Amino acid sequence: MKDNTESLAERSSVGPVGWVIACLWLLVAVVPFLYMAFTGFKTSDEMLTEPALSLPSSWAPTNYVNVLQSSFPRGLLNSVLVSAASIVLIVIIASMASWAFSRLRFRFAGLLMALVVAGLIVPLHSTLIPIYLLIQHLGLYDKLVALLFPYVAFALPISIIILTGFMREIPKELDESATIDGAGPFRIFYRIGLPLSRAGIITIAIFNAVTLWNEFVFAYVLTSTPANRTLPLTIWDFQGQYSSNLPAVMAALLLSAVPLVLTYMVFQERLVKGMMAGAVKA
Amino acid sequence: MSSRRRVRRTSNATVAVFLAPTFILLGVFLILPIVQSFQLSFTDWDGVAPVQQQVGLANWQELAHDPTFWLSVKNSFLLASVSLIIQIPIGLALAVLLDRGGRKFKVFKVGFFVPLLMSSVAVAFLFQGVFDFNFGLLNSLLNTLHLDAYAQDWLGDPNYAIWAVLSVVSWQFIPFYMLLFLAAMQGIPTELREASMIDGANKRQYTFGIQIPLIKGAIATAALLIIIGSLKYFDLIWVMTAGGPDHATTVMATYMYESAFKANRVGYGAAIASAMFLIVFTVSLAVMWLSRRSEKTS
Q: What is the pLDDT of residues B239-258, one digit of tens each?
A: 999 988 989 999 999 999 99
Contacts of B29 in chain A (CB under 8 A): 127, 131, 149-150, 153-154
The percent of residues in chain A predicted with pLDDT above 70, rounded, is 95
Can you give the pTM of this predicted structure? 0.90
Interface test with B, best of A121, A214, A265, A280 (most B CBs within 10 A): A121
Contact B179 A276 (CB under 8 A): yes
The class level of CATH for A71-230+256-276 reads: mainly alpha
CB A248 within 8 A of CB A66: yes
The DSSP string of A36-88 is HHHHHHS-HHHHHHS-TTSPPS----HHHHHHHTTTHHHHHHHHHHHHHHHHH
pLDDT category at B101 given cuts 50, 70, 90 is confident
Instruction: Name the residue in chain B with its Cα closest to that of A20.
Output: B97
Contact B119 A100 (CB under 8 A): no
Domain map (residue ranges) of chain B? 41-297
pLDDT at B161 over 90: yes
- Amino acid A99: pLDDT: 94
pLDDT category at A2 given cuts 50, 70, 90 is very low
Contacts of A157 in chain B (CB under 8 A): 26
Contact B94 A25 (CB under 8 A): yes
Q: What is the pLDDT of residues A190-211, one digit of tens each?
A: 888 899 999 899 999 999 999 9
Contacts of A253 in chain B (CB under 8 A): 118, 122, 125-126
CATH topology of domain B41-297: MetI-like fold (1.10.3720)
pLDDT at B2 over 50: no
Domain map (residue ranges) of chain A? 14-60, 71-230+256-276
Query: ipTM of the predicted structure?
Result: 0.89
pLDDT category at A281 given cuts 50, 70, 90 is low
pLDDT category at A6 given cuts 50, 70, 90 is very low
pLDDT at B23 over 70: yes
pLDDT category at B298 given cuts 50, 70, 90 is low
